[in-house]
Amino acid sequence: MTRTQLTESIFTVDDFLSRQECLQYMDLSEQLGYEAAKINTTKGARLMPAVRNNSRAFHRSEELAQQLWQRAQDFVPAELGRSTALGLNELFRFYRYGRGQQFRGHYDQSFVRSPTEASLLTFMVYLNDNFRGGDTAFRQLRVWPRQGRLLVFEHGLYHLGRTVEEGVKYVLRTDVMFRLPEP
């Protein structure tokens, strides 16, 4: 596994998952079943295909969160400001993007478990790379999908999932949870 620091707030780890693991997660995601991905708004979750038109499947697994955290924790900062990394959110999201699908510019939201525990980092693994387009674009750089590549970045960064031009893109996504300082 090779870690590459792209900016102060963005890094990748190549070969984080093996080809076989990626295929297994793609199969699992298909068994779970996909639905149209909604966007969280101040008025609740809504379908907004002009902004996001990919599909999503949910998978809750504390076992998977612990397993992937054991592999990732040496790469993830132990602290962000006064907050301390705890592990991965057990709610995993699989994303599937077909031809013409994308997720326009947005900021990832923090998952708040309690007043002293919340996510601060996005944790995303590209499960395949046999498609065209579909890179993740930030204001200052683009990250190209590579099977097994982990992408980690701070929630407050504006980014988008560019349009898939050909093929189907699969992603596994969750968050890195942090213990927040006492209020």
Contact 160, 105 (CB under 8 A): yes
pLDDT at 41 over 80: no
Looking at the structure of the chain, the number of domains it has is: 1
pLDDT of residue 34: 77
Contact 21, 148 (CB under 8 A): yes
Reference 92, options 54, 56, 120, 118; nearest CA is 56
pLDDT of residue 39: 64
Q: pTM for the full model?
A: 0.90
Q: What is the pLDDT of residues 42-75, one digit of tens each?
A: 677 665 555 555 578 999 999 999 999 999 999 9
Domain CATH for 159: 2.60.120.620
pLDDT of residue 76: 97
pLDDT of residue 182: 78
CB neighbours of 130 closer than 8 A, spacing ≥ 6? 147, 167
pLDDT at 148 over 80: yes
pLDDT band at 30 (very low <50, low <70, confident <90, very high): very high
Query: DSSP for 105-168?
Result: EE-PPPPEEETTEEEEEEEEEE----SEE--EEESS-EE---TT-EEEEETTS-EEEPPEEES-
Domain encompassing residue 35: 2-179
Question: Phi and psi at residue 8, in whole multiples of 5°?
Answer: -60, -30
pLDDT at 38 over 70: no
